[in-house]
Structure 1
Amino acid sequence: MKFKKVFSDKLIHCYAVLHLQNADHDYLIVASEEDAACYAYNLDNHYEKTTVWENIGGTMTMVQIPNTLDFLATQRFYPGFNASQCIIVREHFNGIGWDKKVVGFFPYVHRFDIVPKGPHTYWFVGCSIANSKKSVDDWSDPGKIWIGEFNDTLNQIQELRALDVKLFKNHGYYRVPKQNFSFITAEEGIFKLNYPSSGSDWVLEKVSDTETSDIAMCDVDNDGKSEFLTIEGFHGPYLSVLNACFEPVIHTEPLTPFGHAIWGGQLEGEPGFIFGYRAGNRDLLWLTLNNSQLKYTLIDKNVGSSNVLTYFKNHESFILSANRESSEIAVYLVSNG
């Protein structure tokens, strides 16, 4: 597999990424975690740049509202987890750019999601990294999992409540495609959050006791069962590959400090994971499984990626990476080689 950087732009401490697409438009959205900007890049017009907002930032998560070019985003979750003033906003596409409406205050919500439930209604999941903080290193008041319903028409999150669990360093979230559950990761381990169905309420079950920062999923060995790549420890230096029963089959040495960017799936027909870490060598890597060992292919070096996604355009595969530590937005063309 070969990787070639085909686009680059500067944004201080870029962090959150989103591919925003419908039948008529195709954009990449990238936002900063600083008191800085969010930009949209038009994939149908040579990455033409539009400023979505300026000098707000603090954005950890962005989620598209299905069948629209509107999206929800966190703002004011500023570095050092100083997030008591964090809000969720709706950015409404007006045909040229985006107009903002505030959905509400959501202190310390680091990851969130909306899951289709019915016409113009969605399940809401919000994961707070803490409940309160006196300093950057204060983790004495653990985070919560907030659930409710997002009403698209009213632009409101309704029936909001916290599940009866508190999680330390509640950092990672992964919605499993075409399934009725998501994974949430924290110091206490990996949790499977089952959405309500057939009259049942939300069900949270622990599937691993290992402290986990982030998780991604892919059938990397083509045996019909998914494996999981996990970052162990909060922003930890270890990687693990878990089997479908969440049993570790590979565990690395602590070679990748401040692990953060993670993605799983197929690129150009090859299954694997994308992984980036933000300290040490700060490499961005493509990981595959070879004879029960992880094979590392360098995508880019010394960039310190915070989040990545992939997309397919004009019969070609691409990676979008928010290279936070180098304040660079980068797009890489993927090809077999």
Structure 2
Amino acid sequence: MTLVRIPGTMNFLATQRFYPGFNSARCRIVKETFNGNGWDQSIVGDFPYVHRFDIIPHENGLWFVGCSIANSKKNTDDWTDPGKVLVGNYNDNKERVEGLHALDDTRLTKNHGYKNMGDYSLITSADGIYRLDYPTTSDDWKLTKLSNKETSDIAAADINNDGKAEYLAIEGFHGSYIRIYNDQFKTLYYSEPKTPFGHAIWGGNIGKNQYFVFGFRQGAQNLELIGSKDGDITTQIIDKQVGPSNATIFSKDNKLYLLSANRESNEVAIYHITDF
């Protein structure tokens, strides 16, 4: 479900055994080490129900953040035991997380989305959107609530070129709407008409400007580009009836491409981006 590269190396950490569904008590994190020809795997540890995780470089090493979608489940649809935000220090030499503990002041139902913002992280859940500040010499880890709207996933981009990030959020758990916030989490845009299962979400530079890329896995199943012109939110259909699950932008040989895992049409699609 999550793959994170270890800074300065080709090696990475990844979740295993997250399925079936969200009933993932056997989930664990493994390290994959490149040996020159293939990959050697080692087990970092068991992390039940961890849906997203991250390792964050700082001057003394690597912090670990893990977000569990639940703490325990009787079945796939049981959400009565909310998830936790787990933090600690990742020791790459020992290949384990040290000092692992939960932030006890907040339990998050359907703790699903995560976005590393550089100086802090955003975490989303049925309880809303939270900002996670990293520890300093004077302060410990801190969670601050930014919005009380149920949110599945979130992306950031400065689509109106005002020097401040806007945030694209999937509203509801794999929800039917998207909402765009300004940097103060005031609503700029709320989507209509309703279409189910928002999933693919990305934000960042395409050419000289920043945009969001978004797609629903059900209903219209469109892959869309979201930007801003003269202060208004604009949308442009990239492809129809493809049902994307994930999308990202990459460059090669001075050319831009959009890579989309179009799950519902059983394809991995590469779109050549021009005129940006």
TM norm structure 1: 0.78
Q: Distance in 2 between matches of 1:265 and 1:332?
A: 16
Q: Distance in 1 between matches of 2:236 and 2:188?
A: 20
Q: What residue in structure 2 maps to residue 203 of structure 1?
A: 142
Q: 2:35 is matched with which residue: 87, 94, 98?
A: 94
- How far apart are 1:334 and its partner, in Å? 1.3
- How far apart are 1:101 and its partner, in Å? 0.9
Deviations 1:141-179 (A, max 9, x none): 111100011111111111000001110111110001xx3
Q: Structure 2 unaligned runs (5+)? A: none
- How far apart are 1:254 and its partner, in Å? 4.4
Deviations 1:101-143 (A, max 9, x none): 1111111100000000246x31000000111111121111111
What's the secondary structure of 1:153's corresponding residue?
Answer: coil
Q: What residue in structure 2 maps to residue 323 of structure 1?
A: 262
Q: Structure 1 unaligned runs (5+)? A: 1-59
- How far apart are 1:284 and its partner, in Å? 1.3
Q: Distance in 2 between matches of 1:91 and 1:204?
A: 31
Q: What residue in structure 2 maps to residue 156 of structure 1?
A: 96
Q: Which has the higher contact order (CA 8 A, sep 6+)?
A: 1
Q: What residue in structure 2 maps to residue 180 of structure 1?
A: 119
Given that 2:70 and 2:111 are in contact with CA atoms closer than 8 Å, whether structure 1 keeps it comes out as: yes
- How far apart are 1:321 and its partner, in Å? 2.1
Q: Distance in 2 between matches of 1:105 and 1:302?
A: 38
Q: Distance in 2 between matches of 1:243 and 1:99?
A: 44
* Residue 309 of structure 1 pairs with residue 248 of structure 2: yes
Q: 1:75 is matched with which residue: 13, 16, 37?
A: 16
Q: What residue in structure 2 maps to residue 168 of structure 1?
A: 109
Q: What residue in structure 2 maps to residue 111 of structure 1?
A: 52
Give the count of matched residue pairs. Answer: 275
Given that 2:225 and 2:237 are in contact with CA atoms closer than 8 Å, whether structure 1 keeps it comes out as: yes
Q: Distance in 2 between matches of 1:162 and 1:233?
A: 25
- How far apart are 1:216 and its partner, in Å? 0.8
Q: Distance in 1 between matches of 2:229 and 2:259?
A: 25
Given that 2:79 and 2:109 are in contact with CA atoms closer than 8 Å, whether structure 1 keeps it comes out as: yes
What's the secondary structure of 2:84's corresponding residue?
Answer: strand
* Residue 252 of structure 1 pairs with residue 194 of structure 2: no
**Residue type matched to 1:140 in 2?**
T
Q: What's the C-alpha RMSD, in Å, of the aligned pairs?
A: 1.5
Q: Distance in 2 between matches of 1:73 and 1:154?
A: 16
**Distance of aligned partners of 1:152 and 1:266 in 2 relative to their CA distance in 1, 3 Å threshold:** same
Deviations 1:7-55 (A, max 9, x none): xxxxxxxxxxxxxxxxxxxxxxxxxxxxxxxxxxxxxxxxxxxxxxxxx
Q: Distance in 2 between matches of 1:304 and 1:255?
A: 15
**Distance of aligned partners of 1:97 and 1:303 in 2 relative to their CA distance in 1, 3 Å threshold:** farther
What's the secondary structure of 1:169's corresponding residue?
Answer: coil
Give the fraction of aligned pairs with identical amino acids, expressed as a percent: 52
- How far apart are 1:181 and its partner, in Å? 0.3
Q: Distance in 1 between matches of 2:193 and 2:217?
A: 13
Q: Distance in 2 between matches of 1:228 and 1:186?
A: 15
TM norm structure 2: 0.95
Q: Distance in 2 between matches of 1:254 and 1:68?
A: 45
**Residue type matched to 2:119 in 1?**
N
**Residue type matched to 1:156 in 2?**
R
Q: What residue in structure 1 maps to residue 81 of structure 2?
A: 141
Comparing 247-256 with 209-218, which one deviates more in the overlay? Answer: 247-256
Comparing 104-113 with 247-256, which one deviates more in the overlay? Answer: 247-256
**Residue type matched to 1:139 in 2?**
W
- How far apart are 1:298 and its partner, in Å? 2.2
